Structure 1
C-alpha cells in the first residue's frame, strides 16, 4: 500500500520532521511519502490562508494519483481543500481533522480541541458542523502559541496543553482531547503522563497519526469517498492542474510489526447453525485481518439463537460481560461484538479498558466520513427502529438517510444467500434513489461477505455508492486502535464500582 501525505504549507523544515514520527504507526508493507506545497503560506492559521493552500493541495492530489498512490492524507487540522480534492480523484482522500474528530466521536462522549489560537474556534466549529459531529463537541481552547513557534519551547507548550486540557475536562465536560495542530504530535505521551499524574485519563488524539491510520484502514477496505457526495470532476480541471510536477518523491516503509489479538464476541447460541459455525465465523473475520493479527471467537452458552428484539438483546449481555473480562485478562488487545444491534456496547466498555468495537457504531461513523448520508439495510421491518435509535445514541442521526429492510428473519438471512442478495439489491436501490443515501451498510452480521456482491450488483443497475462490510470495518478499526494505543475514554465509560453482584459470577471474573 502506498500513502501520500500532503503538508499544505511551504515550510520544508516542518515537513522533514514528520516522517520519522509517523513511520512507527504504520505496517511494514505500507509505504509513505510526503510533499509540501510549492506556493502558499508557511503555516495555516486562518481561513484566508486555507483558501490559498487549497489549489496547491489539489495539484498535489493529482500528482499522487498519477504516482499510483492508494490513499492521500492532508496533514493539517484545517482540512484545506479536502472536499475539492475528493472531487478530482477516485482514491480516498483523508483529512486530519475529519479523521481525528470521527475517532474521538467513536471513543468518547464529548471532545474538546486544544488549538494554537482563539481565532481557531470558528473554523473548527464550521468543520464539526460539516462533518455532522456537533453533538459530540463541547469546546475549543487554545495555547496561544503561533504554529511556527510550537517547538521553540516544549516545556511551555506542554504546560499550556496541560492547563487547557484540565479546563476542558473539568469545566467543559470533555472526555476526549484532540490536538488542534498536527505539529503538536510529539506531545501526546507527555500530556497523557502529566494528566494521569493528576488523576485524569482522557482520550488524547493526535490528528497526524489518526489520519494516516484512517487512510490505511480505508484503502485496506477498498473503500473511497462516495461519488454521490463527491461527483468525479476531472473534466473541468484548470490549466494549472493539467501540467503536473515530475520531481522524484522518496518513500519510506512503516516500522510497525506487532501482532494484534482480537476477540470476537458472539452474542447468540448455536441454535439452528451447524457444529462448525464458530470456526466459520473465525475464518470470516480472519479474512479481513492482517497476517499477524490473531482472531479468536467466543460465543455465549445460554441465551437467544438470534437477536431480533430488545428482549433477546438484553438476555445475551450478562454472559457477554463474562467473555469480555476473560478475554482482557487473557491478553486480548481489542473486542468486537458480532451483532449489528451492538448488544452490551456501553456495559462492556465500562467493564474493560481495551477497545470495544460495536459494528453499527463503527460503520455509521465511517460511512459518514465517506459520504454525506448513509442508509442501513436491516432484516425485519418491525425491528428497523432499533437502528434509528442506535444512530441517535451515537450522536450522528443527522447523517442517517433511512433504514430499509429485506423482510427476512436472521435465520433466513443466514441460510438463503440468493434470496438475501436480491432483497439487498432492491432495498439498496430504494435507499439511494428514494431516500438519498450516498453509502450503504448491511444491517446484520449474518450478511457477512455480501458487500462486494451488493456493490457490484448496484453498479450494474447504474448505482455507484460505497457499501461497507461491517465485520471487515470492525477488524480494521480494532487494528487501527491497537496500533495507535487508543481505547475508549474511561471518563465516558468509567470502571463500575467494586461491589458484590448477587447471582452473577461477573464480580468474581
Structure 2
C-alpha cells in the first residue's frame, strides 16, 4: 500500500525526518510517500499558522489521492485541516493527535502530552476534549519553538526531557505522548531513557492507516463528510499552487 505523510508546514528538513520515522515503523509492503506543503508557514504553532497552512495541505492530499495513495497522514499535532481533508478526499485521512491519543488509551489509564509552545497547548487541549480524552490526558508545553528541535545546540531536547520528568512526578503519567511531529525521531530514545511508553503520533497514525487500508475502510461520505467538493473549489486549489 502507499501512504502519504504530508508535512503541512514548508520546512523540508522536518519532512525528511518525519518520513524517515514513518518508514522505520511501516510494514514491509508499505511505501511511504512524503510531501512538504508548497505554501504556508515554516512551522505551525497555533490557530493563526493553521489557517495559512490549509490550502497547501489540501493541495498535497488531492495530488496524492489522484496519484494512487491509499491513505494520508497529516503530520502536525494540531490535526491541521483534518475535517476539511476528510470532506475532500475519499481515502482514509489520519491526524497524528487523534492517532496518538487513541493509541495511548489502549495502554495507559492516564497520560501526558508534552508539546512545544503554550499557544499550541490550548488547541491540543481542545482536541483532547473532542476525542473524548479530556479526563485522561494532561497537556504540557515545554516552551520549545518547533524549529528549535532541529538544532542540537538549542537546549530544546533538554527542556523536553525536563517536562517529561515533571509529567511523571506531578501528573502521575503512565505514558507520554510527544505533541509535535518534529519529535518523531525521539520516541524510542525517550522510551528507553524513562522506561515507560512514549508515543509518537506519526508512527501511531501510519500503523492505523495501514489497518484501515487492510480492512478496506475508507472515509464515510454520509453526514459530516458527505458533501463532495464543488468543481470550482477543486480548481481554486490548483490556483494556489506555486508557479
Same fold by TM (over 0.5)?
yes
The separation in 2 between residues aligned to 1:27 and 1:193, in whole angstroms, is 23
Asked if 2 retains the 8 angstrom alpha-carbon contact of 1:162 and 1:194, the reply is no
Deviation at 1:244, TM superposition (A): 9.0
| Structure 1 partner of 2:237 | 241
Asked whether the 8 Å contact 2:113–2:139 carries over to 1, the reply is yes
Tell me which of the two structures has the higher relative contact order, counting C-alpha pairs closer than 8 angstroms and 6 or more residues apart.
2
Q: What are the equivalent positions in structure 2 for 1:438-477 lying under 5 Å apart?
A: none
CA contact (8 A) 2:5 2:19 kept: no
How many pairs does the alignment contain?
A: 240
**Counterpart-to-counterpart distance in 1, 2:178 and 2:30:** 25
SS in 1 for 2:32: strand
Native 8 Å contact 2:56 2:240 kept in 1 = no
The residue that corresponds to 1:206 in the other structure is: 200
1:436 is matched with: none
Q: Spell out the pairing of 1:371-386 with structure 2 (5 A cutoff).
A: none
Partner of 1:141: 140
CA distances 1:123-180 after superposition (whole Å, capped 9, x unpaired): 101111222222221x222222211111212783343222211211221132121111
Matches within 5 A, 1:15-164: 15-137=15-137, 139-153=138-152, 156-164=155-163
Quote the Cα distance in structure 1 between the aligned partners of 2:240 and 2:154. 42
Distance 1:151 1:46 in 2: 19
Secondary structure at 1:112 match in 2: strand
Deviation, 1:236, is 5.8
Contact 1:72 1:94 in 2 (8 A): yes
Question: Residue 18 and residue 151 in structure 1: after superposition, are their counterparts in 2 closer, same or farther (change >3 A)?
Answer: same
**CA–CA distance in structure 2, aligned partners of residues 217 and 155 of structure 1:** 37
Partner of 2:191: 192
Q: 1:24 to 1:205 in 2, by over 3 A?
A: same
Q: Distance in 1 between matches of 2:153 and 2:225?
A: 40
In 2, Cα distance between equivalents of 1:231 and 1:214:
22
Relative to structure 1, the CA distance from residue 14 to residue 157 in structure 2 (aligned partners, 3 Å threshold; closer, same or farther) is same
Pair 1:182-2:181 in alignment: yes
In structure 1, list runs of 5 or more residues that go unmatched.
248-509
1:15 and 1:177 map into 2 onto residues whose CA distance is 23
Query: 1:104·1:176 contact (CA, 8 Å) conserved in 2?
Result: yes
Does residue 229 of structure 1 match 2:228?
no
* Residues 89 and 232, structure 1, Cα contact 8 Å, conserved in 2: no
Query: How many Å apart are 1:113 and its aligned residue?
Result: 0.9
Q: Report the structure number with the largest CA radius of gyration.
A: 1
Report what 1:420 is aligned to: none
Unpaired segments ≥5 residues, structure 2: none
The DSSP-based 3-state class of the residue aligned with 1:23 is: helix
- Pick closer, same or farther for the CA change 1:29–1:19 going to 2, 3 Å: same
Query: Partners of 1:47 and 1:222 in 2: how far apart?
Result: 34
SS at match of 2:120: helix
CA-based RMSD: 2.1
Q: Indicate conservation of the 8 Å contact 1:90/1:232, yes or no.
A: no
Tell me whether 1:168 sits opposite 2:130 in the alignment.
no
**Distance (Å, rounded) in 2 between the aligned partners of 1:224 and 1:176:** 30
Q: Deviations over 1:218-250 (max 9, x none)?
A: 1111112333332142226523125697x9xxx
Post-superposition CA distance 1:382-416 (Å, at most 9, x none): xxxxxxxxxxxxxxxxxxxxxxxxxxxxxxxxxxx
